[in-house]
Amino acid sequence: MIYEHKETNDILKWFEQINQIPRCSGNEEAIRHWLINWAQENHFEVKNDKIGNLLIEVPASSDYENAPIVIIQGHLDMVCEKTPDSNHDFTQDAIKLVKEGEWLTADKTSLGADNGIAIALAMTLALDRTISHPPLELLFTVDEETGLIGAGALEAGFFKGRTLINIDSEDEGCFMIGCAGGINTHLSVPLKWADVPNDYQLMKINAGGMKGGHSGIDINAQRANAIKILIQILHQTQVELRLANLSGGTAHNAIPRDSEALVFVPMNKIQIVKTLVQTVEKTLKAEYQNTDPNLFIKVNEVNGFNQAVTSEDTQKLIDVLMVLPHGVAANSQDIEGLVETSNNLALISIDEGQLKVLTSQRSSIDSKIDALSHRIEAVARLVGGKAYSDTRYPAWQPNMDSSLLAKSLDAYKRWFAKTPTVRAIHAGLECGIIGDKVPGMDMISIGPTIKDPHSPDEKIHIGSIGMIWDFMVALLKALK
């Protein structure tokens, strides 16, 4: 049953306006200027830093002027994912909202509730003169989805508050007080190229229809990785192949849903390959029937290209991608049900004559991130390639003695007459970086219920938005 709430409509009206503005990572200028204009129209102090992070200051309500400043924090960018048949242009098209019962989703694209709903909630809080709250700093960062870039660039003095409510978690009724750290690893492997004999035919093999999802939150759901599926098919052909092109994945923090290979096949082995693809597809559809029911593999004869990777290097490429890990590496020994360490085989391409690979590792233990990253780097070196790791961000270690957590638990129990869960998350949150920059920062992460973020299946539970609103109002009143 939907939790009825009159402010939900106000929040969703702002969210709909936010979704009119393209805001993929790295393209936040328009949403930033829109928020600056909104702040100035409502006489709020506003500033931004060199990288584009935005801070809007909201005065305290009556009798809360001397209360400690509270930071309401989210990010401006979104992960831009769409289905293969979508013509959506993320550089200029608005996200089209679709209501499905108790849920709000989008038309063949990611919804952007991660993290547009945080912006909408913060705006609604700032404009509501009926609620009691301390001075607020609305802190909106850039490039969160590409590696927490904006948070990492925050400079001392940009904000004053030492109590922070991050609205970037995705399970109402759950307080996040810790998160994984992470690092990205880039691999490049040189490939030898040569002309293709006349008795070879170019074929396109597509692996798609997979569910994908968030590479942290969904990594333990055992969903298919389209890159791994494609490479499994190429490996099983047992035919002397010549790769002409290879692509798969969309972002470091999204489990790949689609991948494609252009590969030359000996003409007398074409039917063997087609038959094998049909057999493997049947097997995989049964294997992933619960997690990826729409999985498909297609193979077609095409034209184009007169050069390809040599047979030897094609096999080397396939072997590299077969060996590279993907998925859960270890579960937490301290918190039941929490993934401790994982990696996402995120992106592959053939570019400038080389195989290019991006993997993304996460862990709540720094040494485990290093060990897994070094293992992946070693794979590239074994085949004469190069590897380096970057975009590192720290884990956020839980603090069960947090004053903000205690007040949050009390406010939630008083309002809803039930106890929320408290846990850490196997995903990167900006709290980790902000807490690392400002020791002693008291933080909590919350949010309405969002399913399948970082994918075209992303949806937000409408009723949970009102619940988050009521909790926020109750909590801010208690922070005097």
**Three-state secondary-structure class, residue 45:** strand
Rounded to whole angstroms, the Cα distance separating 104 from 95 reads 12
| Bridge partner list, 57 | 45, 137
Contact 266, 277 (CB under 8 A): no
Q: What is the DSSP letter of 346?
A: E
Tokens at 186, concatenated: 């880039």
Tell which residue, 325, 395, 396, 332, has the closest CA to residue 366: 395
Active site includes 77?
A: yes
- Cα Dmax for the chain: 84
User: Sign of torsion, CA 211 216 222 226?
Assistant: positive
For 308-320, the DSSP string reads EE-HHHHHHHHHH
Of residues 57, 114, 143, 144, which has the active-site annotation?
144
Give the position of tokens 């004469």.
Answer: 384
Of residues 77, 81, 137, 170, which has the active-site annotation?
77
CB neighbour list of residue 282: distance below 8 Å, 6 or more residues apart: none
Establish whether the linkage from the previous residue to 115 is cis, with ω within 30° of 0. yes
For 5-43, the DSSP string reads -HHHHHHHHHHHHHTTS--BTT--HHHHHHHHHHHHHTT
Active site includes 144?
A: yes
Contact 136, 58 (CB under 8 A): yes
Q: Which residues are known to be catalytic?
A: 77, 144
